Structure 1
Amino acid sequence: MTYEHTLRHPMNLTPLTDDELAANTVSTSDDPQLKALAAIERRVLWLATSIIHHANKVRPNTSGIKVGGHQASSASIATIMTSLWFGQLRAEDRVSVKPHASPVLHGINYLLGSLDEKHLTTLREFGGLQSYPSRSKDPDPVDYSTGSVGIGATAPIWGAISRRYIETVSGTPNRGRQYSLVGDAELDEGAVWEAVLDSNVADLGEIVWIVDLNRQSLDRVVPNIAAGKIERLFSAAGWQVITVRFGHVLESLMARTGGDALRKRIVDMPNPEYQRLLRCSVEELRRRLPGEGARAAAIAELIADVEDQTLTLAIRNLGGHDLAALREAYSQIDDTRPTVIIAYTVKGNGLPTEGHPQNHSSLLTVDQYRQLAARLGENPDAPWNRFDPACPEGQLIGTTAENLRRVAEPAVAPPAVPADFGRTPSGTATTQAALGRTLLDVNRAAPEVARRLVTVSPDVSSSTNLAGWLNKVGVWSVEERPNWFSDDAETVMHWREKPTGQHIELGIAEVNLVSLLGELGATWSRWGQPLFPIGVVYDPFVERALEPWSYGIYAGGQSILVGTPSGVTLAPEGGAHQSIKTPSIGLEQPGCTSYEPAFAIDVEWTLLASMSQLGRADGKSAYLRLSTKPVDQQLAAIPEDPAARERRRRQVVAGGYMLLAATTPAATIVAMGAMVPEALTASERLATQGIPVDVVCVTSPGLLYEALQSRNGQNQDAQSWILDQILPRERAVPMVTVLDGHPHTLAFLASVHQVKSRNLGVDAFGQAGGIDDVYRYHGIDTGSIVRAVLDLVQ
């Protein structure tokens, strides 16, 4: 017996009359709009179910791998989405749709005329409708890419902040509601509550969440999902809470004698027990519903005179499936603070699988699909019907399509970013400090660029050298707030909060930071206004933030993430704050260029080059890994000749440069970031032993790997010229690579000319101590580099 067969519904799905079909979603048959909405809702349910059914049961499948889809999850929210799109949304509003409801979104877009019929048969097909809503890959309008639990839910929060920020840049108010359609199980994700609790959120009245409370997760009916607890959590965060528990059929029963007992019985009933009632025959329902105890007799007497059909409808008539109840909930939204609407629903509502504890991934059989068609009055052999434009439903759809039509935002081209400020750093400096200095130079030398520059950090602005920038541009907030320490002479950071500020400070929650970066980096495609968003986070915590940042890149958000301080070079801090894997993360992250500069000038050049890639259709994100290690800037040996300086800049941006060239090298030392001074010292010690070496400074292993792939004919978009300049064939000798990170990051460079190599780096958890001791412990100190070269050449 297959899995889908275990979910056959015990009820007889006989065709229903129009009034019976509407009874579960409409509170009054006298309201023509609600009647039209009910008919549209049934068509939306049918289309969503059919899209999944065709992908699994009609379209040929030669691989034997299950295509899948989420018919039950789509059915759970079909009423909510119908009521929202065809009764509430305006063109300026945006909606994040829960991942498993993508077929509902496609069905609605099809009815509205924004999705061609040819796409309805392509769910999860190559080049077709995506498994989850995708802004960049779906052929129909999608406001937010969702699919990774919690990220899509919180995206409209960061979208609201981004839109408000853009208003200050463009001077044009453009504010609509930001809706999130969230499954209740998605609230288990901690990132959701990190976002809800952020101090910036309480003033964002355009945020509206609708929780699809069907009390089921992927595997089961969740026994302890309690709406009361969810309500209290949102309320404590300052949100308006609206609960839509019951529909009109059930409420009408509860208004009768004994109704109070029935209400308390259902409210107090464990989730699994309630779900089991949905699977009962009407006889068994009459036996189980009263329960035991003092209220049982009153409930039994109440339902004794209720018709079978009415009782069956009533038990599944929850507020999230009642169009009138939902409309009333929308009318109560307070736009002065965030709102959450908690709507009780049934997973699989209206399908043969409704309420089954394992219906999450179940699929209707062909027989069940045909039964559903008969029940809804649809044609299973021609499932893609639209309404006659002249009928009430067609008129409502036409009006909605016109009201939701968005005028294309005129795209503003990002201002040109300077490539070089012409300054040559001297003395001793760190790459982390160079970040703050470069931002101030942008503000001074390129004000048009600076106006669109926004920085974000999670309460680490001072420790990541952003204080000077922050003091210059101020802190963004919804409204201006007084700085009570402005007259305190000992205060170094001036916290001037105002709507025109250009630094956004979040709580200590890296997921929030990168989620906001993703939305700030998408303003160019949402509203035609490009920004240059830069987020700063302690480098070890890049791993914590990686998944949502990566998802933001996938969704089209272009930003710069700065990890600082990095590596075991942060020696006294110990292993808890020492990053090891982040260089390879930068190497492997799609849609992103990673840099690890060694000198202050490298920071300037790579940061400016990264900014120039933002805010455009062919743009890319970037990751900069910086250090707090003081380095003598004379070691950079910046050429004085302007042409030679420009050649060096191009090499830095392309991935690396020859820092020291021996007359006849016996070996090559390839170093990155903080390890370059050790590499140069090692070259001096080797020279005294008669072993001349080249020293190559790598700034981007990712770009060098792409260049190697291009040379091998595997990457047509990359160029290989940089390899000829930093690792020319005529200088191919044994190679030692060294970095403050995992050694495999640079190991591939030996394959450029198939030379012998030793790869030094960090492959164990760090230790606290002095930098010399820590470097020696990991084998990346000067002595280790010298020994590695000697092993290769002697």
Structure 2
Amino acid sequence: MTDEQLRTLRDTLHLNDEIPDSALSGDDPPYFRPAEDSVEYQYMMERRRALGGSVPKRTTTARKPLVLPSPEAFSEFDSGSGEQAVSTTMVFTRLLRNMARDKDFGARVVPIIPDEARTFGMDSLFRELKIYASQGQKYEPVDHALLLSYAESTSGQILEEGITEAGSMASFIAAGTSYATRGVPMVPFYTFYSMFGFQRVGDLIWQAADARTRGFLLGATAGRTTLMGEGLQHQDGHSLLLASTVPFCQAYDPAFAYEVAAIVKNGLNRMYGDTPEDIFYYITLYNENYQMPARPTSPAIEADIVQGLYKWQEATGGKHRATILFSGAAQGAARAAAAELLEKYDVGIDLWSATSYKTLREEALEVERWNKLHPLGAPRQPLVTRLLSDTPNPFSPIVAVTDFMRAVPEQVARFIPGRSFTPLGTDGMGRSDTREALRQHFEVNMPHVVVTVLHQLALAGTIKSDVVQAAITAYAINPEGISPLYS
């Protein structure tokens, strides 16, 4: 600013006495500091004291501390589902009900649904928890004759926002920051079509992280092949990629009921336990029914699940060895391929459940950074490197199958030296069809997993290429078919 402009500013602010003309004649503009006994100085100091001091610091005091739910809310899922086929969406709904019934914790649960509660199997909660309405239910719903009919109440617990993901995210952020704004920690569980979550309201999810929101985002009807007949509008193959862009988002893709329970339990402890962290969770849920296995008996299984990768089943026999990683609904193709490879091709398969590639990648990046900044120290190894190097044949191939894009498992590929790593995923736009047809189209079904493993074994010189060709013929795979990426 010129001297004349500075003089005009001084006159406008009525600082003529404090800044005389002589102070404006130098090369540098004057620095004005109010006297300590002035009203201005006293006001600024009072406001600084009210804000907690000169250095900004976020402090929270829980006026109503949160008591975490009892272990019984989670242990129900340890034994699996027996002969009953259930989906992870159904599992979560039952877990949500268990938590809402907990006498100490239940009132802090905030279920949020933008729409389609029945699609997620959450209509069973209507009568028990009721949907919040400021004036109560003022009409008779069309489903009033049903046992699980729509029920509103002024004391309702469920926030059903209508078809508005943005409005639901606003509720999620409000509930998820209540520990700071109100001193009353609440636990939001926002369940939505996974395709419409990160894709539609990515900015608001980033805002949630910036505001240090705590809670759970549940991407229901996840995956690009599990939601039959809905077409590409609802087929999500990339929300886990979008989640990977948010540093404080803990993204998980569980396959089994006990994994869902362990991840939610871990999230509650990390966000609301003795040393709470300002993070939130994104968990994919699928609507495909299958029998849920019992939780492995390892005493460290819960830690193994949340670390992102654990060996689910070790190979039993087989002349050759390979490894298959699976996550989410891809568990079916992986398990079927393992059985097929052993029976028909004498290949023993180690099956690993990859619950979170994002967690594995971020841990590996931290190790990589430590090694770079400590060149004289003994180099550390990323967890994923250590886990997948612990095999009788350290050069056997790894195939990772997912219901999401290949880029999801590829997040860890460069941290697995010495072993070939081939991802199978659902790259492409998708189409409206059955699960079986979609998995054949995207080349993530059992035959394609088998052929991929055999091909990698052939490249390593373990088997002959004739075996791969025979498998392609036996499974009636069209080698000249159009890639799903472009069809």
| Range into which the TM-score falls when normalised by the shorter chain | 0.7 to 0.9
SS of residue in 1 equivalent to 2:104: helix
SS of residue in 1 equivalent to 2:172: helix
SS of residue in 2 equivalent to 1:433: helix
Give, in whole Å, the separation in 1 of the partners of 2:341 and 2:424: 17
Residue from 30, 45, 57 that aligns with 1:381: 30
Residue in structure 1 matched with residue 390 of structure 2 by the alignment: 728
Letter paired with 1:667: A
Residue from 626, 644, 652 that aligns with 2:305: 652
Residue in structure 2 matched with residue 200 of structure 1 by the alignment: none
Cα distance change, pair 485–774 in 1 and its aligned pair in 2 (3 A):
closer
Give, in whole Å, the separation in 2 of the partners of 1:554 and 1:405: 20
Cα distance change, pair 402–558 in 1 and its aligned pair in 2 (3 A):
closer
1:257-314 Cα shifts (integer Å, max 9, x gaps): xxxxxxxxxxxxxxxxxxxxxxxxxxxxxxxxxxxxxxxxxxxxxxxxxxxxxxxxxx
User: Is the CA contact (8 Å cut-off) linking 2:385 and 2:416 kept in structure 1?
Assistant: no
Cα distance change, pair 741–398 in 1 and its aligned pair in 2 (3 A):
closer
Letter paired with 2:32: P
Total equivalences in the alignment: 419
Residue in structure 2 matched with residue 604 of structure 1 by the alignment: 261
Residue in structure 1 matched with residue 117 of structure 2 by the alignment: 461
Residue in structure 2 matched with residue 340 of structure 1 by the alignment: none
SS of residue in 1 equivalent to 2:244: helix
Residue in structure 2 matched with residue 414 of structure 1 by the alignment: 66
- CA shift, 1:577, in A, is 0.8
- CA shift, 1:648, in A, is 2.3
1:632-651 residue pairs with structure 2 within 5 A?
632-633=291-292, 636-639=293-296, 641=297, 644=298, 646-651=299-304
Give, in whole Å, the separation in 2 of the partners of 1:564 and 1:442: 19
- CA shift, 1:588, in A, is 3.0
Cα distance change, pair 610–469 in 1 and its aligned pair in 2 (3 A):
farther
Give, in whole Å, the separation in 2 of the partners of 1:367 and 1:784: 78
Cα distance change, pair 726–626 in 1 and its aligned pair in 2 (3 A):
farther
Give, in whole Å, the separation in 1 of the partners of 2:6 and 2:183: 44
Give, in whole Å, the separation in 2 of the partners of 1:504 and 1:513: 8
- CA shift, 1:422, in A, is 4.4
Give, in whole Å, the separation in 1 of the partners of 2:86 and 2:3: 70
- CA shift, 1:679, in A, is 0.5
1:638-665 Cα shifts (integer Å, max 9, x gaps): 33x4xx2x42222112212212211576
Does 1:628 find its partner at 2:283?
A: no
User: Is the CA contact (8 Å cut-off) linking 2:388 and 2:416 kept in structure 1?
Assistant: no
Residue in structure 1 matched with residue 475 of structure 2 by the alignment: none
Give, in whole Å, the separation in 1 of the partners of 2:448 and 2:86: 25
Residue from 310, 324, 330 that aligns with 1:669: 324
Instruction: Choose between structure 1 and 2: higher helix proportion.
Output: 1
- CA shift, 1:574, in A, is 0.8
- CA shift, 1:370, in A, is 5.0
Give, in whole Å, the separation in 1 of the partners of 2:382 and 2:135: 50
Give, in whole Å, the separation in 1 of the partners of 2:2 and 2:237: 50
SS of residue in 1 equivalent to 2:282: strand
Give, in whole Å, the separation in 2 of the partners of 1:597 and 1:398: 52
Give, in whole Å, the separation in 1 of the partners of 2:222 and 2:48: 53
Does 1:788 find its partner at 2:452?
A: yes
Can you give the 5+ residue segments of structure 2 that lack an aligned partner in the other structure? 20-28, 53-58, 374-379, 459-487
Give, in whole Å, the separation in 2 of the partners of 1:591 and 1:669: 29
User: Is the CA contact (8 Å cut-off) linking 1:735 and 1:750 kept in structure 2?
Assistant: no
User: Is the CA contact (8 Å cut-off) linking 1:651 and 1:722 kept in structure 2?
Assistant: no
1:444-482 Cα shifts (integer Å, max 9, x gaps): 4x3222221111111222222222233222222334445
1:153-164 residue pairs with structure 2 within 5 A?
none
TM-score w.r.t. length of structure 2: 0.77
Letter paired with 1:627: Y
- CA shift, 1:612, in A, is 2.5
Give, in whole Å, the separation in 1 of the partners of 2:9 and 2:279: 47
SS of residue in 2 equivalent to 1:608: helix
Give, in whole Å, the separation in 2 of the partners of 1:501 and 1:727: 52
Cα distance change, pair 469–731 in 1 and its aligned pair in 2 (3 A):
farther
- CA shift, 1:511, in A, is 1.3
Cα distance change, pair 483–744 in 1 and its aligned pair in 2 (3 A):
same
- CA shift, 1:619, in A, is 3.4
Higher alpha-carbon deviation: 589-598 or 435-444: 435-444
Cα distance change, pair 704–372 in 1 and its aligned pair in 2 (3 A):
same
Letter paired with 1:593: Q
Letter paired with 1:455: P
User: Is the CA contact (8 Å cut-off) linking 1:599 and 1:631 kept in structure 2?
Assistant: no
Residue in structure 2 matched with residue 593 of structure 1 by the alignment: 250
- CA shift, 1:566, in A, is 1.3
Can you give the 5+ residue segments of structure 1 that lack an aligned partner in the other structure? 1-363
Residue in structure 1 matched with residue 471 of structure 2 by the alignment: none
User: Is the CA contact (8 Å cut-off) linking 2:327 and 2:354 kept in structure 1?
Assistant: yes
- CA shift, 1:375, in A, is 3.7
User: Is the CA contact (8 Å cut-off) linking 2:309 and 2:384 kept in structure 1?
Assistant: yes
Cα distance change, pair 710–374 in 1 and its aligned pair in 2 (3 A):
same
Does 1:766 find its partner at 2:441?
A: no
User: Is the CA contact (8 Å cut-off) linking 2:115 and 2:192 kept in structure 1?
Assistant: no
Cα distance change, pair 588–403 in 1 and its aligned pair in 2 (3 A):
closer
Cα distance change, pair 443–408 in 1 and its aligned pair in 2 (3 A):
closer
1:693-738 Cα shifts (integer Å, max 9, x gaps): 111111111111123234434499x995576456525553211111
SS of residue in 2 equivalent to 1:468: helix
- CA shift, 1:604, in A, is 1.7
Percentage of pairs with the same residue: 21
Does 1:692 find its partner at 2:348?
A: yes
User: Is the CA contact (8 Å cut-off) linking 1:389 and 1:398 kept in structure 2?
Assistant: no
Residue in structure 2 matched with residue 315 of structure 1 by the alignment: none
Residue in structure 2 matched with residue 431 of structure 1 by the alignment: 88
Cα distance change, pair 544–620 in 1 and its aligned pair in 2 (3 A):
same
- CA shift, 1:399, in A, is 12
TM-score w.r.t. length of structure 1: 0.49
Residue in structure 1 matched with residue 235 of structure 2 by the alignment: 578
Residue in structure 2 matched with residue 449 of structure 1 by the alignment: 105
Cα distance change, pair 749–668 in 1 and its aligned pair in 2 (3 A):
farther
Does 1:739 find its partner at 2:419?
A: no
- CA shift, 1:691, in A, is 1.3
Give, in whole Å, the separation in 2 of the partners of 1:418 and 1:704: 29
Letter paired with 2:265: L
Give, in whole Å, the separation in 2 of the partners of 1:410 and 1:598: 35
Residue from 173, 196, 211 that aligns with 1:541: 196
Letter paired with 2:453: V
Does 1:510 find its partner at 2:165?
A: yes
Which protein shows a greater Rg?
Answer: 1
Give, in whole Å, the separation in 2 of the partners of 1:599 and 1:587: 22
Residue in structure 1 matched with residue 178 of structure 2 by the alignment: 523
Letter paired with 2:408: T
User: Is the CA contact (8 Å cut-off) linking 1:483 and 1:494 kept in structure 2?
Assistant: no
Letter paired with 1:657: Y
1:713-724 residue pairs with structure 2 within 5 A?
713-714=369-370, 724=386
Letter paired with 2:281: A
Q: CA RMSD in A?
A: 3.2
Give, in whole Å, the separation in 2 of the partners of 1:607 and 1:727: 29
Cα distance change, pair 617–608 in 1 and its aligned pair in 2 (3 A):
closer
Cα distance change, pair 410–743 in 1 and its aligned pair in 2 (3 A):
closer
Residue in structure 2 matched with residue 501 of structure 1 by the alignment: 156
Give, in whole Å, the separation in 1 of the partners of 2:80 and 2:316: 28
Cα distance change, pair 699–403 in 1 and its aligned pair in 2 (3 A):
closer
Give, in whole Å, the separation in 2 of the partners of 1:566 and 1:508: 18
User: Is the CA contact (8 Å cut-off) linking 2:336 and 2:446 kept in structure 1?
Assistant: yes
Give, in whole Å, the separation in 2 of the partners of 1:759 and 1:741: 10
